[in-house]
Amino acid sequence: MALTYAVNRLSEAGQRSLRALRTARRWKRLPILAAALTSAPVAPVVLAQWPGSVSGNTPNSAATSQAVPSVGQILQQAANAAASLNYSGTITYKRRGAEETSRIVHLFENGVEMERVTTLDGPPFEVIRVNDELTCYIPEARLMRIEPRTGRQGFPSLLPRQMTTLAQHFTVKRLEVERVAGLDAQVWEFSPNDEFRFWHKLWTELKTGLWLRGRVLDENRNVIEEITFSDIKIGGKIDREQVKSTLAGSIANWRVDRRLPVSAMKTDTGWFARGLPAGFVKISENFMRALPGRTEPISQLVYSDGLTSVSVYAAPLPSGETPALGATVQGNHQVFSRQANDQLVTAFGDARPAAVKAIASSLIRK
């Protein structure tokens, strides 16, 4: 679920520059993961009530024999609960041996969402969110970054089209009720019906449907990624002071970086995808800055099915350079590169290899 991707093997100098870029943007990952777990716009729908999931009781055999909700219904209820409830807690994120922890406080008041996410390990970092605007405080870089919440930062907030396609491409199974952070949670398992998606397990709090734990599993059912509340308090009064920045008083002489909303940018890179894997849609398109020693910007398009995302980069190949093509692995991410005339197209993401390859292969010039 990390959002910082980079073009693979553009050149030796390019690789060094991109590694530096990833390091500089390391601060973005955990707060976005926290937002991904707990933040999504309130959808204009009534919260679904299905047997055993929000009743407050362990489902009995009669209840479990009734219809199981779809993936989209479960995720949308979790998103609605996360947006409309007051809560505070500690979130732990694990991926392939790495572990990070953050603290979140969320307030919904008079139709306005306010949220503070603070890292508890590593360099200090804080995100303040008011509805769809994020203000990120990064003391290590003496930087305050203001940007709109987009795409995966609002996960699991699904487009209507994605609600339908997720139901088509996953089979949902209601499992047992377990305890998470001291609360009873219904366990759901999403099994993919194709080669493009991972397995997912989700724990939703019985009374509210709030997401308490999520796991991504590979084809051998090994856990790739887990986000979980280790403690949480749902409901009750939260004061506005609790969602204000604790770092705002120390930002004198900091650099301010303000990003425009996606709707205001209207970027056309000249690329589009033809024949995407079913369910994947474009959620952003923009230009990255040119690499040192290069004048051409890099085109970036991001595609998501609502549960996973893949970034695709396209950039002119340097004269006389032979790129490494095909499938590779960089850290925790799958990579697939192909040459399209004088351009190198690279897909980089947290999806299964077949999805990354298919998305890279679908990108063509207009």
Digit-by-digit pLDDT tens for the chain (366 residues) are 322 222 332 323 233 333 333 333 333 333 333 334 333 333 322 333 343 443 334 444 434 446 888 888 898 888 889 999 999 999 999 887 788 999 999 999 999 999 999 999 988 899 999 998 899 999 989 999 998 875 444 434 455 666 677 888 899 999 999 999 999 999 999 999 999 999 999 999 999 999 999 999 988 999 988 999 999 999 999 999 999 999 888 888 899 988 765 444 457 888 989 989 988 988 888 887 655 566 677 888 999 887 888 999 998 887 777 778 999 888 768 899 999 988 999 999 888 999 999 999 999 998
Residue 41: what residue type?
Answer: P
Q: Which domains, ranges and CATH numbers included, belong to the chain?
A: 26-257 (2.50.20.10), 261-365 (3.30.200.100)
Residue 174 pairs with which residues in a beta bridge? 188
Residue 2: what residue type?
Answer: A
Residue 249 and residue 151: Cα distance in Å, rounded?
30
Task: Decide: 254 and 143 in contact? Cβ < 8 Å.
Answer: yes
- In this structure, are strands 255-258 and 143-148 parallel, antiparallel, or unpaired? parallel
Torsion of CA 200, 204, 206, 209, to 10 degrees: -120
**H/E run at residue 161:** helix 160-169
pTM exceeds 0.75, yes or no: yes
CA 238 to chain centre: 26
